[in-house]
Amino acid sequence: MRTLSVVVVVVTIVLCISALCVASVPLTISYQGKLMESSGIPVADGTSQMTFAIYDAESEGAKIWTETNTAVQVKGGLFSVLLGSVTPFPSTLFDGGELWFGVSIGSAAELSPRQKIASAAFAQVSRTVVDGAITVTKLGNGAVTSDKLAAQAVTTDNLANGAVGTNQIANGAVVQSKTTGMLGCLNNGKRVAYGWNMTGNGSSGNWYMVIATGLSSVENVQVTTCNRDWPCEANMSPGGTTVTVRANAQNIPFYWMAIGQ
């Protein structure tokens, strides 16, 4: 009686560039082996029908994927096929469970024993990332930069209370255009704008900052500073849209609030 055996030469995952770029192209596994007679000599050159299957157990168990290639080229006993090129793999096939691989030649019974699929095959799951898999402990310092974030990706809804402190804000990161806000309307119909800035223009003894309040007509302004040695004063032109804050030193931080229309 004729008995065949397969000597596995290489089993690797082929993550084709086209498969990564085009979602409709299925991923495949490159499977290469050598088909031998029971006497140990290679089978004759030609084509053979081969059926491949993946199971969830070493023996018996459930067959969770199979495909048949009707014309596998064999030369010197060597053959090579792309598993998944006939029947695509289920998306959850390589989800981490133990799997075994079986081969049948022609109409003969499946060769024994089945081969356990090595962990390399599970690289297919790298196509997607499980929700919650990437946490802050997985990210290196500086890994997420501004160019990795889509416009408006980070809003106040995404920030926990107290998440952003002064230690998380780089020098110069907060500019005047980012600090103007509207608190809403007062009972008398007036509007309130507020913000935080630092004096930086001018020269020694006369440092100032011009603030665009966002109001169409400023009627009143208040300014406070955390440095009592360097008080600030605010100037405005009634009916204007800007406020000028002056101090006797550069880079004096101050808070301002304007009332108007």
Q: What is the pLDDT of residue 111?
A: 87
| Total-model pTM | 0.44
Residue 163 in domain: no
Quick one: what percent of the chain has pLDDT higher than 70?
73
Higher pLDDT, 131 or 10: 131
The answer to whether the CB of 253 falls within 8 A of the CB of 210 is no
pLDDT on residue 182: 53
Give pLDDT, residue 261: 79
Domain residue limits at 201: 175-260
Q: Do residues 218 and 121 both lie within one domain?
A: no
Of 127, 148, 164, which residue constitutes the final position of a domain?
Answer: 127
Same domain, 18 and 115: yes
Q: Write the CATH number for 25.
A: 2.60.40
Q: Would you place residue 191 in the very low, low, confident or very high pLDDT band (cuts 50, 70, 90)?
A: confident
Q: Give the whole-angstrom CA distance, residue 252 versus residue 202.
A: 13
Structure tokens at 176: 């005047």
Task: Please report the pLDDT score of residue 55 as a whole number.
Answer: 95
pLDDT of residue 1: 42
State whether 48 and 105 are in the same domain: yes
Predicted pLDDT of residue 257? 83
Same domain, 10 and 119: yes
Looking at 100, 127, 154, the residue that finishes a domain is 127
Residue 85 lies in a domain: yes
Min mean pLDDT across 47-51, 136-140, 220-224 is at 136-140
- Number of domains comprising the chain: 2
Beta-carbon contacts of 150 under 8 Å, excluding residues fewer than 6 positions away, are: none
User: Quick check: is 63 in a domain?
Assistant: yes
Say whether both 46 and 117 belong to one domain. yes
pLDDT at 75: 93
Residue 160 lies inside a defined structural domain of this protein: no
134 belongs to a structural domain: no
pLDDT at position 239 over 70 = yes
Report pLDDT digits (tens) over 60-82.
999 999 999 999 999 998 999 99
Asked which of 127, 142, 160 is the last residue of a domain, the reply is 127
pLDDT at 185: 58
Q: Please give the distance of CA 88 from its chain centroid, rounded to a whole number.
A: 26
Q: Which residues are CB-contacts of 259 (< 8 A; sequence separation ≥ 6)?
A: 186, 190, 191, 192, 218, 219, 220, 221
In a domain, 35, yes or no: yes
